[in-house]
Amino acid sequence: MNLKLVSTICPYCGCGCGINLVEKDGKVVGVEPWKRHPVNEGKLCPKGNFAHEFIHRNDRLTTPLIKKDGKFVPASWDEAISLVASKFKEINAQFGPESMACFASARVTNEENFVMQKFARVALRTPNIDHCARLCHGTSVAGLAKTLGSGAMTNTIKDIADAKLLFIIGTNTFEDHPLIGRRIVQAKERGAKIIVCDPRFNITAKQADIYVQHRSGTDVALLNAMMYTILTEGLEDKEFIKTRTKDFEAIKAEIMKCSPEWAEPITGVPADTIKKIARMYATSGASAILFSMGITQHACGTDNVVSVSNLALMCGMIGRPGTGINPLRGQNNVQGACDMGCLPNVVSGYQAVINDELRKKYAAAWGVPDLPNKVGLTIVEVMNAIDEGKIKSLYIMGENPMVSDPDINHVKHALQSVNFLVVQDIFMTETAELAHVVLPAASFAEKEGTFTSTERRVQLLKKVVSPPGEAKEDWEIICAIAKKMGVAGFDFKSAEEIFEEVRKVTPQYAGMTWERLRKPEALHWPCPATDHPGTPILHTVKFTHPDGLGIFFPVSFKPPAEVPDADYPLLLTTGRMIFHYHTGSMTRRSATLDNEVKTGFVEINPVDAKALGVKMGDKVKVVSRRGEIEISAKVTPNIMKGIIFIPFHFNECSANKLTNPVLDPFAKMPELKACAAKIIPIPKEDKKAAAAAVKVAPKIGGQ
Ligand SMILES: Nc1nc2c(c(=O)[nH]1)N[C@H]1C(S)=C(S)[C@@H](COP(=O)(O)OP(=O)(O)OC[C@H]3O[C@@H](n4cnc5c(=O)[nH]c(N)nc54)[C@H](O)[C@@H]3O)O[C@H]1N2
Ligand SMILES: Nc1nc2c(c(=O)[nH]1)N[C@H]1C(S)=C(S)[C@@H](COP(=O)(O)OP(=O)(O)OC[C@H]3O[C@@H](n4cnc5c(=O)[nH]c(N)nc54)[C@H](O)[C@@H]3O)O[C@H]1N2
Ligand code: SF4
Ligand SMILES: [Mo]
């Protein structure tokens, strides 16, 4: 028996855990711990432990597919690439470059994302390039760019264990970043206090010394009231405010309107609790903030992030070990996809496309006269622009908006009506089904490249087995289309060669080489020179703004765009669970994970359930202004009265049929965490039919 262990990186969340894939006879047959990996030290969550199970599924895409008369027909690469290239050229000539859009992917490598943004900007000459960071930490990037000058996690994962207090708000870390959760446990064992603020008493909240249950969408009220206590009791860090920040005076007036007594009826949190957590945060000596989607996915998401930043700056809890503002980035390579410039306003290294000097320098490095010099459309804006007839072609690599975008009925309408849709994935997803051409990609185990984790750690991915059938690496496919279109600059021979180009044009990555990255220590960006050790902690002596100062911005509380009313009396929030990942394309095809949880549910408080006459397991309809779904009720006191929660992983009871696509004005983030909804019990006689419908719906379950 010939077993080989290959050390590589988990393909799921942004923790960036190291795993050993076990290879036997050209197949990946298991996962073994990589004990000396500095992030996870051999520990893995269930998704990492079973990350091999989807790789050799027999429903992997193995050949290009072209839709003819409404049916997919297998095609050769030559035929598919020729068709895509000629269609792209035709649409470009007929409707102009701005009628075209590309979605990159937080699941694929830095090199593949870099090539995708180059393809959009050089081959299609369109500014319309975006990816799922828009629905994720787009507001963190926007908010922290305003206050600190750059929008990444300020400290490292390991550093979390050194905090004296962890302020955990809007992240269910134990389910969604389990190997960061482990550092929370370590901090607790060393005596740290844990505060969790979340409308659900989730698994993470169970670890808290103080659990604060506030209403979805009231974070600014809660944070401002904490700052009110800190200011009125003189607990702010005056020295830090004086030497490291500016515009502190500008926020005082707003904060002084927000007493804990004012916040109590808005948030549902007793004023005394708000005062207590404010004092604890300000006086621990080393407080770190962890936040994620509960903060970001709101129409006021940027405000929420700025408010978090105000709190940390006011208390001087940044730039030192055990402190910091830590947006826990979600996907394995969402940090990297942003770093590589798969955003409509920046090329790689966050260099703004509207800055003439930076853009011209960048274009010169690519040997082209210029690049699109305006900010392109974001994900939800692309869907709207298709409806308005402005976008005619969409090239999607490694995203599944038919399950992950808000207001699915609208997304479906858009994707069905766009002139030309190309989807590049490893499986036939709900989105791929609507495509004109489907291109089969190699998975994480079948290619080389780099991923950048939530702590800005750049790590090498190893090729363990060959892709199935004729599937190719994403960068190879993109380059083949570009070359067929007759565009120069896509003649890469390997991922490493692409990385060499990344280094040249991306200051944060300039000092990294694959040779250096082969060591498991890897490197945290910024790493400007080959003898630079990388930067684990940001902002130790100055912030990223030109004057080096952190900036305060006043933020006032605004309720969610849709609040409960007589017609829709409940507030719906959405999120995740440990066993499933996003649209389920991989975890629902992994037998072990699929067996754990087969389908979705709606969490409802016992008081609300009783008033509706709904019992545990009953099938109900959940209805919003955008759509309705049928789903089983999970009656639990863990969810606040008046709030309901649905995990968004399950297409047959899709939370996103209900969610509100209203956007944050700065980051264009949709309000995925708050919309008005109602529950309609399904009368007894209809229940059998509904149950049968739900049973047949999941068609991709474990094989
Ligand atoms: N198992 C698993 N892990 C994952 C993922 C996955 O799909 N599955 N996805 C990855 C990705 S891309 C991401 S972005 C991360 C996301 O990780 P998280 O942010 O942890 O994920 P969510 O479950 O969406 O939301 C977190 C919490 O926000 C709470 N919340 C809801 N509304 C509000 C509010 O208004 N205010 C506050 N303060 N809290 C609120 C929810 O109750 C929930 O407990 O997870 C990553 N890890
Ligand atoms: N209601 C609600 N909606 C949400 C959220 C929420 O909390 N609530 N969260 C939002 C967030 S934070 C995020 S990040 C998004 C995620 O939204 P998506 O990015 O759309 O979700 P994924 O399921 O991760 O989709 C990734 C796709 O990439 C494919 N894939 C995997 N590896 C590869 C590869 O190597 N190459 C290629 N070409 N394809 C590959 C997978 O099969 C899958 O179809 O969802 C958002 N939507
Ligand atoms: S914590 Fe994240 S990176 Fe680590 S094993 Fe789990 S899913 Fe993979
Ligand atoms: Mo995300």
- Which pTM does this prediction carry? 0.95
pLDDT at 145 over 50: yes
Q: Enumerate residues with CB within 5 Å of ligand 4 (an ion).
A: 136, 330
pLDDT at 329 over 80: yes
How would residue 538 be classed by pLDDT, with cut points 50, 70 and 90? confident
pLDDT at 684 over 90: no
pLDDT at 603 over 60: yes
Among the four given CATH numbers 2.130.10.10, 2.40.100.20, 3.40.190.10, 2.40.40.20, the one describing domain 570-696: 2.40.40.20
State which ligand 1 atom lies nearest to the alpha carbon of 329. 14
Torsion of CA 57, 59, 61, 62, to 10 degrees: 80
DSSP state of 444: G
Q: Which pLDDT belongs to residue 152?
A: 84
Residue 630 has phi, psi (to 5 degrees) of -110, 135
Tell me which CATH code domain 3-49 carries: 2.20.25.90
How would residue 521 be classed by pLDDT, with cut points 50, 70 and 90? low
pLDDT at 8 over 60: yes
State which ligand 3 atom lies nearest to the alpha carbon of 51. 8
- 341 CA distance to ligand 1 centroid (A)? 24
Closest by CA position to 21, among listed 51, 42, 47: 51
pLDDT at 696 over 50: no
Average pLDDT estimate for 667-682 = 95
Mean pLDDT of the chain: 95
Q: Are the folds of 65-135+332-524 and 138-327 the same?
A: no
Q: Which pLDDT belongs to residue 703?
A: 39
CB 492 within 8 A of CB 108: no
Strand partners, 211: 196
Average pLDDT estimate for 232-261 = 97
pLDDT at 702 over 50: no
Among the four given CATH numbers 3.40.50.150, 3.30.930.10, 3.40.50.740, 1.10.287.3510, the one describing domain 65-135+332-524: 3.40.50.740
Q: Which pLDDT belongs to residue 211?
A: 98
Q: Which pLDDT belongs to residue 689?
A: 61
pLDDT at 659 over 60: yes
Average pLDDT estimate for 49-76 = 97
Which of 105, 395, 464, when mutated, tests ligand 2's pocket best, judged by the most ligand atoms within 8 Å of its CB? Answer: 105
Give 605's contacts (C-beta < 8 A, 6+ positions apart).
635, 636, 637, 639, 640, 641, 642, 643
Residue nearest to atom 30 of ligand 1 (CA): 294
Average pLDDT estimate for 448-476 = 97
State which ligand 2 atom lies nearest to the alpha carbon of 296. 12
Which of 21, 35, 41, 47, when mutated, tests ligand 3's pocket best, judged by the most ligand atoms within 8 Å of its CB? Answer: 47
Q: Which pLDDT belongs to residue 697?
A: 45
Amino acid letter for position 510: A
Average pLDDT estimate for 42-63 = 97
Residue nearest to atom 1 of ligand 1 (CA): 578
pLDDT at 459 over 70: yes
How would residue 700 be classed by pLDDT, with cut points 50, 70 and 90? low
Closest by CA position to 589, among listed 699, 670, 466: 699
How do the domains of the chain map onto residue ranges?
3-49, 65-135+332-524, 138-327, 570-696
- 19 CA distance to ligand 3 centroid (A)? 9
pLDDT at 126 over 90: yes
Q: Which pLDDT belongs to residue 701?
A: 44
pLDDT at 428 over 70: yes
Pocket of ligand 2 (CB under 6 A): 105, 107-108, 132, 135-136, 293, 297, 330-331, 397-401, 404, 424-427, 429, 441, 443-444, 474, 574-575, 582-583, 585-586, 648, 655-656, 659, 672
Q: Does the Cβ of 260 fall within 6 Å of ligand 3?
A: no
**Residue 248: CB atoms within 10 Å:** 18
Tell me which CATH code domain 138-327 carries: 3.40.228.10
Q: How far apart are CA 128 and CA 346, in angstroms?
A: 11
State which ligand 3 atom lies nearest to the alpha carbon of 10. 8
Average pLDDT estimate for 299-310 = 96
Summarised one tens digit per residue, pLDDT across range 542-599 is 999 999 999 999 999 999 999 999 999 999 999 999 999 999 999 999 999 999 999 9
Average pLDDT estimate for 505-532 = 91
pLDDT at 687 over 90: no
